[in-house]
């Protein structure tokens, strides 16, 4: 049975208003479901709440909360947002339905009324405030969660939007899953034969590992990585693993902070070997007989400043074919930096579109496909490759260089 502190009990009983009481009731219900014995204080919450997921009922729920007095409705800990469903500054460039934009504006206004910071990002760990080892958090996006647990050694479960908001309103989350030591230990061993050297190959490797995980509580221990990957490589690796596997944590031998304590004896863990042939086979799944191409997308996760620099460098002085759209997404902070440093100009001069505060699959991708005639999609993101097929697209994965070459040629270059 979950034991509450006097303060938590008081929140539950409505001493701090109805909004916090409802939030605490939700937290206690989830705690009971997972046999959590207590709640744990969290220092930040990250809310996944684009309008495609919220729907009209979700937006109305937020608007009802926003009606309460400020003292009753404001979040108690720093609470930030995942990418939104529309870029308010650039939605016309991709023929976004204005009804979507209006719904998105209502959701934004309600969140602001609750004291939420509109960071609109799934790379908060690179650009807002990186987590610290041992820090307990209530993070939403699966890519954010897996990076937070694995690379920083901080602690979070997958918190859906309602739970992340409840954590923001109470400063608590149930102590189950990845908040507890026992769930952070390795359950499977993966030996890789070659260290990937591009974002798409890191993503492919993450996808292959994710596919081999059987549940949320499976944690892979990865050996054979011969150099320290950079943050963007690990971002693609983790996001793909989480997308394919519902995986929330990995260890890389001699590299990630909890790897040393992840298992007593590696030899008893079920072991899988993965090599270059496996990565090639993954990419081959998406090869097509004809070179038709509609849209090239760099997103999922949003691009860091360094990825934007690389993309701008590849596009500099070239022109995207009129038959193809090229879209990159980042967060408002990195967009402002890219504007300031001349990167946006290089991307736009080549005919590319740089969107802020959104991610491709979280902005009503099915409607965008219909409005723009997009079907065949090329990307260097394994996560996007996994998700976007569910929206009726035909994805192809390749390197950022090959994606840009294809956008310029107006057809898939291989």
**Residues with Cβ < 8 Å from 319, sequence gap 6 or more?**
350, 351, 408
Place of tokens 């219900």: 29
79 sits near another protein (criterion: CB under 8 A) = no
CB 118 within 8 A of CB 82: no
157 sits near another protein (criterion: CB under 8 A) = yes
Q: In which element (H, E) is residue 251 found?
A: strand 251-252
CA dihedral 18, 76, 56, 142 (to 10 degrees): -130
Sole binder of another protein in the list 70, 215, 317, 322 (CB under 8 A): 215
Pick 313 or 392: Cβ nearer another protein: 392
Pick 176 or 202: Cβ nearer another protein: 176
Q: Which stretch binds another protein (CB under 8 A): 25-33, 68-76, 253-261, 285-293?
A: 25-33
85 sits near another protein (criterion: CB under 8 A) = no
Q: Take residue 352 and report the two structure tokens written for it.
A: 């590319």
Q: Which of 87, 79, 240 shows the shortest CA–CA distance to 166?
A: 79
161 sits near another protein (criterion: CB under 8 A) = yes
N-terminal to C-terminal alpha carbon distance within the chain:
58
Least Cβ distance, residue 413 to another protein (angstroms): 31
140 sits near another protein (criterion: CB under 8 A) = yes
Pick 179 or 402: Cβ nearer another protein: 179
Pick 140 or 153: Cβ nearer another protein: 140
Q: List the interface residues with another protein, window 253-312 (CB under 8 A).
A: none
Q: List the interface residues with another protein, window 26-65 (CB under 8 A).
A: 26, 29-30, 32-34, 48-50, 52-58, 61
Site size toward another protein (CB under 8 A) is: 35
Q: Is the dihedral of CA 280, 282, 284, 287 positive or negative?
A: negative
Least Cβ distance, residue 346 to another protein (angstroms): 33
Least Cβ distance, residue 149 to another protein (angstroms): 13
Q: In which element (H, E) is residue 173 found?
A: strand 172-174
CA distances in angstroms from 24 to 74, 310, 315, 317, listed in the order given: 14, 45, 50, 55
CA distance 257 to 181: 13
Site for another protein, rule CB under 8 A? 26, 29-30, 32-34, 48-50, 52-58, 61, 140-142, 157-163, 176-177, 215-216, 243, 246, 387, 390
């Amino acid at each position: 049975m979950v034991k509450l502190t006097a303060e938590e009990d008081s929140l539950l009983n409505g001493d701090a208003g109805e909004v916090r009481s409802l939030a605490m009731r939700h937290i206690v219900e989830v705690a009971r479901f997972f046999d959590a014995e207590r709640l744990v204080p969290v220092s930040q919450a990250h809310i996944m709440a684009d309008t495609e997921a919220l729907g009209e009922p979700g937006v109305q729920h937020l608007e009802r909360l926003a009606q309460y007095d400020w003292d009753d409705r404001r979040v108690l800990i720093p609470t930030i947002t995942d990418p939104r469903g529309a870029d308010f500054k650039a939605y016309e460039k991709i023929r976004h339905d204005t009804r979507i934009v209006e719904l998105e504006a209502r959701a934004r206004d309600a969140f602001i009324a609750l004291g939420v910071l509109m960071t609109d990002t799934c790379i908060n760990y690179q650009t807002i405030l990186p987590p610290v080892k041992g820090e307990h958090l209530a993070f939403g996006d699966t890519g954010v969660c897996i990076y937070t647990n694995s690379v920083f050694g901080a602690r979070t479960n997958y918190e859906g939007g309602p739970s992340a908001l409840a954590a923001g309103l109470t400063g608590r989350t149930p102590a189950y899953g990845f908040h507890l030591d026992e769930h952070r230990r390795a359950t499977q061993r993966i030996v890789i034969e070659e260290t990937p050297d591009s974002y798409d190959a890191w993503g492919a490797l993450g996808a292959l590992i994710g596919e081999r995980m059987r549940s949320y509580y499976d944690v892979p221990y990865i050996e054979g990585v011969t150099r320290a990957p950079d943050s963007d490589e690990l971002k693609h690796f983790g996001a793909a693993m989480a997308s394919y596997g519902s995986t929330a944590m990995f260890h890389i031998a001699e590299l990630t902070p909890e790897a040393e304590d992840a298992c007593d004896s590696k030899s008893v863990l079920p072991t899988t070997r993965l090599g270059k042939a496996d990565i090639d086979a993954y990419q081959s799944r998406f090869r097509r007989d004809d070179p038709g191409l509609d849209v090239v997308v760099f997103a999922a996760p949003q691009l860091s400043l360094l990825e934007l620099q690389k993309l701008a460098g590849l596009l500099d002085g070239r022109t995207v074919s009129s038959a193809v759209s090229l879209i990159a997404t980042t967060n408002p902070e990195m967009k402002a930096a890219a504007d300031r440093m001349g990167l946006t100009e290089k991307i736009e001069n080549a005919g590319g579109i740089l969107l802020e505060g959104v991610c491709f699959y979280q902005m009503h991708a099915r409607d965008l496909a219909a409005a723009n005639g997009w079907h065949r999609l090329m990307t260097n993101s394994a996560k996007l490759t996994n998700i976007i097929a569910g929206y009726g697209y035909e994805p192809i994965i390749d390197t950022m260089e090959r994606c840009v070459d294809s956008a310029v040629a107006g057809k898939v270059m291989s």
